[in-house]
Structure 1
Amino acid sequence: PPRLGRHLLIDANGVPYTYTVQLEEEPRAPPQREAPPGEPGPRKGYSCPECARVFASPLRLQSHRVSHSDLKPFTCGACGKAFKRSSHLSRHRATHRARAGPPHTCPLCPRRFQDAAELAQHVRLH
């Protein structure tokens, strides 16, 4: 039976949340016969139960499974738009930086931040 992986994440506002994904225990067994000459053989690895894409590792499968989820845990502190991946939020934040300079200045040093959540995290590190 498949095992479940539970993950604790923290959104851009510092709020923790969890989500669960289903992981396969073992890679699918390779076929007993080879493909005919000139035809590609079946791929070995971890298969996505949603779309049948095959991945070389369970971690890559897990990362891919986010694309099938409706969860959007990464929220922009400047405009509220939500994203499935932190990398997409980072790319989005650049659109705000292009429009104007960072509006949130650290009271303890000269660093400035695009949104209040980033500033709050920075201040906690001082």
Structure 2
Amino acid sequence: MMSHTGENPFKCGLCDKAFSRMGNLKRHVVTHSGEKPFKCDLCDKAFSQKGDLKYHMMTHTGEKPFKCDLCDAAFSGKSHLKYHIMTHTGEKPFKCDLCDKAFSLMSTLKGHVVTHSGEKPFKCELCDKAFSLKNSLKGHVVTHFGEKPFKCEICDAAFSLKSTLKNHIMTHTGEKPFQCDLCDAAFQRKTYLKYHMMTHTGEEPFQCDLCDAAFSRKDSLKYHMMTHTGEKPFKCDLCDAAFSQKSNLKPHMMTHTGEKRFKCDLCDAAFSRKNHLKYHVGTHSGN
């Protein structure tokens, strides 16, 4: 009857949780001991509770009995369906104590909190990169093997990450959901907006250790460092030219193809580089 009244007389001595039944308390206490008596016969995983093993077995069988009434999604666990429903309702009960963000999943909140500490416990075994989220590491590892399972239905492009495909689709639709509050600029990615905002504030947090140069973007600093080291990783396939920045290689290739896409509005002149057009336009104004 206590499960109906909401009374929870069976309290855990190791944490603040309480339960309406002694059996539930006993199962809970096992989670503190680290004991995992319920072992999977098909892999090496083990669980502290029988119910968790039952749901895990569905990952082997592919069974997903819990179906969403609002879309085609289906899940092996009832709790997974519950959290999925929140993506439809917009409910985000798990709030961050360090900022204003809120999430529909506790696991997403836990991953987010790590971004405040700067901790990056998930390290790549193939390079020096490390990540605050396990999913970020998983997506990164795919880039080493060249696997690109996420394909664009509009063109032939393919990507190793689903999020990259999502951003790519916006190049077809022209969608730019991230708007600047200080001007009319809009961007396809939140990070682009973040860098753009620095043009308003004048903030340049990325400092060069070898000179006084500073930049609003980390990649700009990276390319700048090549001017000190002399590194030129972007090489022309048609001649011996090489460049420290990819953006310089692209206009160089036009010198081979003869393409001149930057056209003057005041005369018939055309140029392979935008800055050459800019200087040319000055000859019309007398500057």
Same fold (TM over 0.5): no
Higher relative contact order (CA 8 A, sep 6+): 1
TM-score w.r.t. the length of structure 1 is 0.39
Tell me which structure has the larger Cα radius of gyration. 2
TM-score w.r.t. the length of structure 2 is 0.18
